[in-house]
Amino acid sequence: MAALFPRWSNTAARASLLALALLVVGVPLGLMAFVRSSNASARYEPVKQPIPFDHQIHAGRLGINCVYCHATVMRSPTAGIPPTQTCVPCHSTVWINSSELAPVRRSMQTGKPITWNRVDRLPDFVYFDHSVHVNKGVGCESCHGRVDKMSTVYQAKPLTMGWCLSCHRMPAGQLRPVEAVTIMGYTPAVAQARLGPELAAKYHVRSLTSCTTCHR
């Protein structure tokens, strides 16, 4: 009786066993790599907004300080999305009739807020507090990137737990004088290796890695 299977089926069986093993290891590895990729977190993808507000013009060219609009960053967990009234002082004299500013005018007339789309997203079980970071000398740029160069803002950093911890374990590397937190493209006057520990001591910065630092 002729062999039921040709000889190459041995190789095929071995190969499929190997493929299975690779699959078992590879699929989880691949998924783990994927969730860490910028693709999964939508990093670098500009988020379209109801008003084509241009940070490059406002924060970059005009040099308006971050805190002018994100006013509560020093005293609240949230940096604050500016209320419609923040736009009015300038835009009652500049670009008065621009169609792009129609939502602002409509909002002021109707009293209905402008619906913005969130760019930097943390999961709901993460309790991030802007005020303490800024007051301890962590620059806006450190987490949000060069917003002054973004025409349409996108998420610039991974915002994963590993990334948060990289600084929480060794905070000194990211500290700058509190006066300089809003500066975009900041370079330390002296070497960060010397300045960082000095600022950490001055602002009483500790490495906080307990779970309840962020998860409550």
Enumerate binding residues for another protein (CB under 8 A).
31, 35, 40, 42, 72, 74-78, 80-85, 107-108, 111-118, 121, 123-125, 127, 129, 131-132, 135-136, 204, 206, 208-213, 215-216
What is the smallest separation between the CB atom of 83 and another protein, expressed in angstroms? 4
Nearer Cβ to another protein (110/187)? 110
Question: Could you give the CA distance from residue 175 to residue 197 in angstroms, rounded to a whole number?
Answer: 9
What is the smallest separation between the CB atom of 164 and another protein, expressed in angstroms? 14
Question: Could you give the CA distance from residue 47 to residue 26 in angstroms, rounded to a whole number?
Answer: 32
Alpha-carbon torsion, ordered 53, 43, 73, 214, to 10 deg = 160
What is the smallest separation between the CB atom of 197 and another protein, expressed in angstroms? 18
Nearer Cβ to another protein (11/168)? 168
Q: Compute CA distances 204 → 11, 150, 175, 214, whole Å.
A: 65, 33, 12, 19
- Tokens 């975009």 locate to 184
Nearer Cβ to another protein (15/29)? 29
Nearer Cβ to another protein (7/216)? 216
DSSP for 73-96, please give it.
TTTSSS--PPPGGGTHHHHTTSST
What is the smallest separation between the CB atom of 110 and another protein, expressed in angstroms? 8
